Structure 1
Amino acid sequence: MKIGLYFGSFNPIHIGHMVIGNHIAEYSNLDEVWFVVTPHNPFKEKKTLLANHHRLEMVYRATEPYDKLQACNIEFNLPQPNYTINTLVHLQEKYPNKEFCLIMGEDNLKSFHKWKNHQLILENHFVYVYPRISENVIETPFDGHEKIIHINAPIMQLSSSFIRKSIAAGKNIQPMLPEHVWEYMDEMNFYR
């Protein structure tokens, strides 16, 4: 079984994340996409970042109706600060019968050469890249690499920070969120 790992703080998860995750699950050779919720880094103070369990709950509520999408909290129990290579090693040990791949936006691919052990990641894992809006053509040192797979997913111009600011300003952003995520956020009074 081939699993795509879609990392993020998901603060909150929104329809842009869902469209990309679902598109990759449906239109690539991946069997499932796991939304890996990145834990709060204890060394960084982020007042706008909700607690890990709240963000995981929102991702769970968003992905629960979809067979090929699921929430993943694998990084919550790994030492911090954590690196993607450690998560991949941990997952491979925990699930030896699954093949894990990374999912990232084109903008992240541009700085991928700065990631810890990026060569080792590329030796052992495929990387699925979805397009992002950019002023100019994004060239990377990985153009043409056999382990980099470009997915022609819809380009989503929606961000969690825009949603947080809009909620704080009293705007109705309900259509930008999966229904169960909106209900949870509204009930918990998040980002107001």
Structure 2
Amino acid sequence: MKNIGLYFGTFNPIHIGHLIIANHLVENSDLDEIWMVVTPHNPFKKKSSLLDNHHRLEMVYLATQEYDKIKPSDIEFKLPQPNYTINTLAHVSEKYPEYNFSLIMGEDNLKSLHKWKNYEAILEDYNIYVYPRISEGVIETQFDKHLKIHRVNAPIVEISSTMIRNSIKLGKSVLPLLSNNVWKYIDEMNFYKK
């Protein structure tokens, strides 16, 4: 049975930090593939700042086309909004019974997992791979000893999509932070300049 890691994000835009983490996980864990799940609307983020779904999906496609084990995914586009992770996990598990799904998250998200809808069901049925983030000391959570939580010693990448959008708006070069195809797409479409 193939092990698929679901890496959720608005990817507004996808940047090299996302790719570094996804590639590290797929090459250094028992995950066979990573699906970059483009989130149409995160309940914790303002929708007005997001590019349209199809533009963000196109950027994920452009960023991942050279990686055999990293795939773009629009699985949440047809689900009711705002969507919750537990609903997506249930949906993909039913739609693809031949795959074993796991969740990928930063340790900052693990800290707030107890606030997620039906987090107990997620922990009961799915493995969670947690990558490190820079923080004030080690982030300890109530889930640290949980058998389904797997901390991965991935590189710490402190690049944010917000920083990239703000830099583009100010006319600064962000070329090293994006794959070339993504940068060309953003530039041609005039994204984030206002």
Q: Normalised by the size of structure 1, how large is the TM-score?
A: 0.97
Q: Please state if 1:188 is matched with 2:189.
A: yes
Separation in structure 1 between the aligned mates of residue 48 and residue 97 of structure 2, nearest angstrom: 38
Partner in structure 2 of residue 145 of structure 1: 146
Separation in structure 1 between the aligned mates of residue 91 and residue 19 of structure 2, nearest angstrom: 25
CA shift at 1:189, angstroms? 0.7
Partner in structure 2 of residue 118 of structure 1: 119
Paired residue type of 1:182: W
2:38–2:56 Cα contact (<8 Å) kept: yes
Paired residue type of 1:79: P
Separation in structure 1 between the aligned mates of residue 61 and residue 39 of structure 2, nearest angstrom: 14
Map of 1:28-177 to 2, 5 A cutoff?
28-40=29-41, 46-177=47-178
Paired residue type of 1:94: K
- Give 5+ residue unaligned stretches, structure 2: none
* 1:157-176 per-position Cα deviation (integer Å, ceiling 9, x unaligned): 10000000000000010110
Q: Secondary structure at the residue paired with 1:186? A: helix
Separation in structure 1 between the aligned mates of residue 46 and residue 34 of structure 2, nearest angstrom: 29
Structure 1 moving runs of 4+ over 6 Å: none
Separation in structure 2 between the aligned mates of residue 47 and residue 154 of structure 1, nearest angstrom: 31
- Give 5+ residue unaligned stretches, structure 1: none
2:128–2:150 Cα contact (<8 Å) kept: yes
Partner in structure 2 of residue 22 of structure 1: 23
* 1:88-111 per-position Cα deviation (integer Å, ceiling 9, x unaligned): 010011100100000000000000
Q: Normalised by the size of structure 2, how large is the TM-score?
A: 0.96
Separation in structure 2 between the aligned mates of residue 86 and residue 30 of structure 1, nearest angstrom: 21
Paired residue type of 2:151: H
Paired residue type of 2:105: M
Separation in structure 2 between the aligned mates of residue 67 and residue 189 of structure 1, nearest angstrom: 29
Q: May I ask how many residue pairs the two structures share in their alignment?
A: 192
